[in-house]
């Protein structure tokens, strides 16, 4: 049930955000502070989510094979690899390190 | 682009199944939310045991950028009012990027529609395949598939890290997100990390009273200079 509540809230929230952009008169969202903040929010959230999902299990900080996988993904990004290669590198390296007992 | 979205969809299906969501819940997300980063954030927060409100809040904040795509698309596409509620569902990174790159209104409309339709079908099909695949292969962790979610986040994040402001926000967010993880309930540390954005803006506003760069709005948030 908890999951369905979360899904419902996310569906409504994300849809209203998309709709707001199309319906709201230009200018309302044009304030520089609002724009700046909305550009930076995803940066903060994505950075925190990447770190958490790489270095934690439940509420404990851990360093395991995922760390190696994300390092491989980061390297692929630096080399300007497409998303496909980036994700594949992360998955393959994580699986590889686990297979080796890491 | 289609291949990349397809793989992300597959990764989402796998991740969501690994997070304990069932087939119906996972497909409902892809059908009705249709904005990848928010979906990954939601299932990640639920997997970590977050309550529905904090989990949805993280997903919501990640979706704020779509409002700004909509704002730009609204003028470019000039859709009739009756069409907008339907078109809104397809306002995402990829459709905005394609539509905004077109030379004229007609091309932009075609670009938006074709990209939206293609990716919508692809995203939902691959999500379904991902869930079924995850059930078929059993232990998703042995295959390293739990690294797919964070890898997608990192790939979305990387092109945003152009300036020092963005990098500072990301660094502080990582510190806040990991630092609060052991002490705050699941889902809340991510929201705390979101504070890195206003925090950095505020510090920049204070540090640079003369700064112009691209923000004039910064000045209104502080009472006095220095």
What pLDDT is stored for residue B209 in this prediction? Answer: 56
Q: With an 8 Å Cβ cutoff, are A18 and B189 in contact?
A: no
What pLDDT is stored for residue B220 in this prediction? Answer: 39
Rg, Å, chain A Cα set: 19
* Weakest mean pLDDT among A71-75, B58-62, B118-122: B58-62
Q: With an 8 Å Cβ cutoff, are A70 and B44 in contact?
A: no
Model ipTM value: 0.89
Which residues share a beta bridge with A57?
A60
Closest-CA distance of chain A to residue B138, Å: 14
Closest-CA distance of chain A to residue B115, Å: 16
Q: Is there a contact between B152 and A25 (Cβ–Cβ < 8 Å)?
A: no
Q: Which residue of A has its CA nearest to B69?
A: A21
Instruction: Report the SS3 class of residue A60.
Output: strand
Q: With an 8 Å Cβ cutoff, are B173 and A22 in contact?
A: no
Nearest CB neighbour to B151, from listed A3, A26, A87: A87
Q: Is there a contact between B218 and B201 (Cβ–Cβ < 8 Å)?
A: yes
Residues of chain A positioned with their CB less than 8 A from the CB of B120 = none
**Of residues B143, B163, B177, the one with CA closest to residue B211:** B163
What pLDDT is stored for residue A102 in this prediction? Answer: 57
Cβ atoms within 10 Å of A9's Cβ, excluding its own = 18
Q: What is the per-residue pLDDT across B175-209, written as a single tens digit (0 to 9) for each?
A: 999 999 999 888 889 999 999 999 999 988 887 65
Nearest CB neighbour to A33, from listed B28, B29, B218: B218
Cα distance between residue B108 and residue B110, in whole Å: 5
Element housing A61 (H / E): strand A60-61
Q: Which residue of B has its CA nearest to A97?
A: B144
- 3-class SS shares of chain B: helix, strand, coil, % to 5: 75, 0, 25
What pLDDT is stored for residue B219 in this prediction? Answer: 40
Question: DSSP assignment, residue B214?
Answer: T
Cβ atoms within 10 Å of B83's Cβ, excluding its own = 11
Mean per-residue pLDDT for A35-46? 89
Q: What is the per-residue pLDDT across B80-135, written as a single tens digit (0 to 9) for each?
A: 989 999 999 999 989 999 999 999 999 999 999 999 999 999 999 999 999 999 88
| Neighbour-count burial for B155-184, b at 16+ CB within 10 Å, e otherwise | bbbbebbeeebbebbbebbbebbbebbeee
pTM of the model as a whole? 0.83
What pLDDT is stored for residue B95 in this prediction? Answer: 93
Q: What is the per-residue pLDDT across A49-69, written as a single tens digit (0 to 9) for each?
A: 999 999 988 778 989 999 999
Label residue A24 exposed, middle or buried (CB < 10 Å: 0-12, 13-18, 19+): middle
């Amino acid at each position: 049930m908890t999951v369905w509540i979360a899904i419902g809230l996310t569906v409504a929230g994300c849809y209203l955000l998309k709709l707001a952009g199309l319906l709201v008169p230009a200018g309302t969202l044009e304030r520089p502070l609002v724009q700046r903040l909305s550009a930076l929010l995803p940066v903060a959230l994505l950075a925190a989510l990447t770190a958490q999902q790489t270095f934690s299990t439940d509420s404990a900080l851990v360093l395991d094979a995922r760390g190696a996988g994300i390092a491989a993904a980061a390297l692929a990004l630096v080399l300007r690899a497409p998303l496909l290669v980036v994700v594949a590198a992360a998955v393959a390296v994580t699986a590889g390190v686990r297979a080796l007992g890491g | 682009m289609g291949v990349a979205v397809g793989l992300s969809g597959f990764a989402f299906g796998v991740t969501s199944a690994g997070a304990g969501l069932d087939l119906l819940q996972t497909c409902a997300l892809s059908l009705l939310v249709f904005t990848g980063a928010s979906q990954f954030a939601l299932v990640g927060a639920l997997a970590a045991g977050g309550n529905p409100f904090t989990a949805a809040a993280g997903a919501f904040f990640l979706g704020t950028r779509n409002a700004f795509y909509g704002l730009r698309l609204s003028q470019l596409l000039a859709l009739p009012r009756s069409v907008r509620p339907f078109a809104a569902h397809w306002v995402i990174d990829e459709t905005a990027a394609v539509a905004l790159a077109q030379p004229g209104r007609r091309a932009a409309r075609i670009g938006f529609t074709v990209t939206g339709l293609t990716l919508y079908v692809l995203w939902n099909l691959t999500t379904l395949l991902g869930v079924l695949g995850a059930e078929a292969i059993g232990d998703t962790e042995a295959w390293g598939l739990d690294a797919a979610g964070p890898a997608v986040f990192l790939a979305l994040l990387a092109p945003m890290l152009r300036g020092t402001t963005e990098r500072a926000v990301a660094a502080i967010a990582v510190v806040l997100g990991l630092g609060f993880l052991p002490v705050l309930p699941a889902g809340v540390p991510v929201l705390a990390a979101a504070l890195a954005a206003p925090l950095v803006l505020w510090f920049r506003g204070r540090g640079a009273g003369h700064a112009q760069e691209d923000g004039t709005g910064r000045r209104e948030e502080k009472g006095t200079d220095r």
